[in-house]
Copies of this chain bind each other. A is one copy, B any other.
Amino acid sequence: MHFTPERMTPLKALRLGIDTHQELIIYLRADCPVCRSEGFSAMSRVLVSSDQHHAIATLNIVTGDLLERGQIGFSESAWQRLQLHDSDPLWLSHPKPVQSLSYVRAKVYGHELDEMAFQSIINDIVDGRYADVHVAAFVTACGDDHLNDNEITALTHAMIKAGSTINWHLPIVIDKHCVGGLPGNRTTPIVVPILAACGLTMPKTSSRAITSPAGTADTMETLTNVSLTQKEMREVVKQQGACLAWGGAMRLSPADDLLIQVERALDIDSEGQLIASVLSKKIAAGATHVLIDIPVGSTAKIRTPEAAEKLAASFRSVAKKLGLNIEILLTDGSQPVGRGIGPALEAYDILAVLQNSPGAPKDLKDRACMVAGAMLEMIGEEKPGAGQAKALSILESGLAWEKFQAICFAQGGLHKPPVAAYRYSLVCHIAGIVTAIDNRQLAQIAKLAGAPADPEAGVEFFVKLGQHVEENQIMMTIHAANAGELNYAVDYLEDHRQVILIEQEQEQEQEQEK
């Protein structure tokens, strides 16, 4: 008389072509018998099983005619997770309660979690057992500084174990990371060839932009192929000592990719999750020595030296527990670096520095050499204080540019970044001194202009804090792929003129006061 769900008539899979990002969504007709028999309703969590795979998804109920009787619709994320083909048979049932949610609740109630608890949570997140609201609860419960250093260490371990790891079988494998967005601060493509030219191993994997106008992977993609498999990456590194690849396809700390989406939506700063995110990626990628660049400035992610020191102390403590060598560099985060903001514009800055062009942005060059120098010093290649000069000499000798080209060719060739057809330049209406630059608003303008989806879009920014500007001098140029996007960025700029503040110089002001 009784039957289990597996013996019920299966539903037929239909790919609806709806992109819901990481959230797995399935769609059922309101009159579907399984909805009534299982008591499913809109937003129920449902266990979906094919012959091969299963996953927990969130249910949307279709009251229109999107589905025929007996069909079950899938979002792209759910379709891919179950590796389906059209009309594959599927069964639905109630998922078992997600046990690790009890640890999330324990964290809400202020308890310290151990590594086993974090591992359960992270495994369930990677296995897709958490809806976004559950991830949001976990992120919130760990928010601010609710995790102590032991917990951050345990979380980092758990995130590493939930994905692939690479062992290079080398005593020194170096890496770097910059915390928090400073527009144009694209030192990585300069640092990597400098250090590789010194004979060091630096298998650099980078992310695409999530909320910024460009990630390092977006910028590098305007110059070469960055979509390497782990195997391809290993070959490039074996050949050249380094790579400049996109890390997204390598399953290094995949939990991080899922957590970060919800963290951005909530914009809840979590020191613990920031540290676990960075260090889990680096350790999974096989790094032994990591430099962390923390730009500090009033419109940067880290706004005060005190906050930077606190973060640095936690980074050091957790890295020590994890057996990772770490060096922290606090840098100036008060204004953009280089001229370009956006994938291709940043790539042109990088090429200018690597090629030692006369007009190359000096601040980008200096920062890249400072970072590379600090890394040479931390691994003992150079004595304290001598690293930056060494990095500069490698850069100016042309060896870094040679190495950069070799890496690009190993990854699939070097090509010229695209150039935008549509531009708008902002000129200065009065002569004066640049007294403030809003990094966040600049990034917003570059995104409205189309970056990073349009690689040629973004902002060219020509002035620096403290610089004297003349009337009618061009301060910034917006680049876009079409007129619509250009206008949209210009509209925003007109509403947010405080993105650059110009003050008339004191002598002039005093004259006016008279």
Interface residues of A (CB under 8 A from B): 1-4, 15-23, 27, 30, 33, 36-39, 41-43, 45, 60-66, 75-76, 101, 104-105, 108-110, 131-137, 139-141, 143-144, 261-262, 265-269, 447-448, 450, 453-454, 484-485, 487-488, 490-491, 494
**A64 neighbours in B (Cβ, 8 Å):** 15-18
Known A20-B60, A64-B16; contact A267-B105, beta-carbon cutoff 8 A: yes
* Interchain CA distance A514-B16 in the complex, whole Å: 68
| A110 closest partner in B (C-beta) | B144
A18 with B488: CB separation less than 8 A: no
Please judge, given known A-B contacts A19-B62, A133-B133, whether A33 and B266 are in contact too, CB under 8 Å.
no
Determine which residue in A61, A64, A140, A487 has the highest number of CB atoms from chain B within 10 A of its CB, and name it.
A140
* A488 and B19 contact, CB distance less than 8 A: no
Shortest CB–CB separation between residue A274 and chain B, in angstroms?
Answer: 14
Residues on B with beta carbons closer than 8 Å to the beta carbon of A45: 265
Can you sample 26 A-B contacts with CB below 8 Å?
A: A1-B490, A3-B491, A17-B62, A17-B65, A17-B66, A18-B27, A18-B64, A20-B43, A33-B484, A36-B453, A37-B450, A37-B484, A37-B485, A39-B450, A60-B75, A101-B267, A104-B268, A105-B143, A108-B143, A133-B135, A133-B136, A133-B265, A134-B265, A134-B266, A137-B137, A137-B268
- Chain B residues, CB < 8 A from A3: 487, 491
**CB-CB < 8 A to A450: which residues of B?**
36-37, 39
A140: chain B residues at CB < 8 Å are: 108, 136-137, 140-141
Residue in chain B with minimal CB distance to A135: B133
Nearest 8 A/B pairs, CB to CB = A17-B64, A136-B136, A19-B61, A133-B136, A140-B140, A108-B143, A21-B42, A19-B42
Find the B residue at minimum CB distance from A25.
B60
B39 touching A30 by the CB < 8 A rule? no
Residues of B within 8 Å of A139, CB to CB, are 137
- Who on chain B is nearest to A485 by CB? B37
Known: A36-B453, A39-B453. 20 other contacts (CB 8 A): A2-B490, A2-B491, A2-B494, A4-B491, A17-B62, A17-B65, A18-B62, A19-B63, A21-B43, A36-B450, A37-B450, A37-B484, A104-B268, A105-B267, A108-B144, A133-B133, A133-B136, A134-B136, A134-B266, A140-B140
